[in-house]
Structure 1
Amino acid sequence: MSEKVQGPKSYFPSIEAKYGRTIDEWIEDLRPLAGRKHMDQVAHLKEQGMGHGHANALVHVFRAEHDGA
């Protein structure tokens, strides 16, 4: 029996469904912003039409797993 995904990653299925891009594509989109402030990264995603909650969840995971900042 698999565990239910919790935390920011629980938003990933709805992010992919709503915006038509995979999480990996969004992560690649954020890579040039590595090292920038959290809210700068969120603002970048919001400029592309993503809602604040989804952007915040994605940036949280990006910073924890890919950013190094």
Structure 2
Amino acid sequence: MDKVKGPASYFPSIEAKYGQPVDHWLAMVRERAGMKHMEIVAFLKQEHGLGHGHANALVAHELAALKKGKT
């Protein structure tokens, strides 16, 4: 089995630390897809208490998926 790399490698620790499934957070990112990357990161940090690395990983992953049409 291949080891998960990139932003998705943060997902297990995000779920453990914040008590919500990753899909919960990714949905929030999708709802703000018209905003700039760092604006969404700031939202997750300020409104939901996520750390910078975790918020950035979620935003990077989901915006890349949206750009590729995978969501």
TM-score calculated relative to the size of structure 1? 0.89
Report the Cα distance in structure 2 between the residues aligned to 1:67 and 1:43, rounded to whole angstroms: 21
Structure 1 vs Structure 2 CA RMSD:
1.3
**One-letter code aligned to 1:37:** K
TM-score calculated relative to the size of structure 2? 0.86
Structure with higher RCO (Cα < 8 A, 6+ apart): 1
Which residue of structure 1 lines up, in the alignment, with residue 60 of structure 2? 60
Post-superposition shift, 1:67? Answer: 6.0
Q: Deviations over 1:17-62 (max 9, x none)?
A: 0000111011112222112100001001101100000000110001
- Is the contact made by 1:35 and 1:67 (CA closer than 8 Å) also made in structure 2? no
| % same residue | 57
Which residue of structure 2 lines up, in the alignment, with residue 17 of structure 1? 16
Structure 2: which 5+ residue stretches go unaligned?
none
- Divergent runs of 4+, >6 A: none
Report the Cα distance in structure 1 between the residues aligned to 2:10 and 2:62, rounded to whole angstroms: 13
Report the Cα distance in structure 2 between the residues aligned to 1:39 and 1:10, rounded to whole angstroms: 20
Which residue of structure 1 lines up, in the alignment, with residue 3 of structure 2? 4
Structure 1: which 5+ residue stretches go unaligned?
none
**One-letter code aligned to 1:4:** K
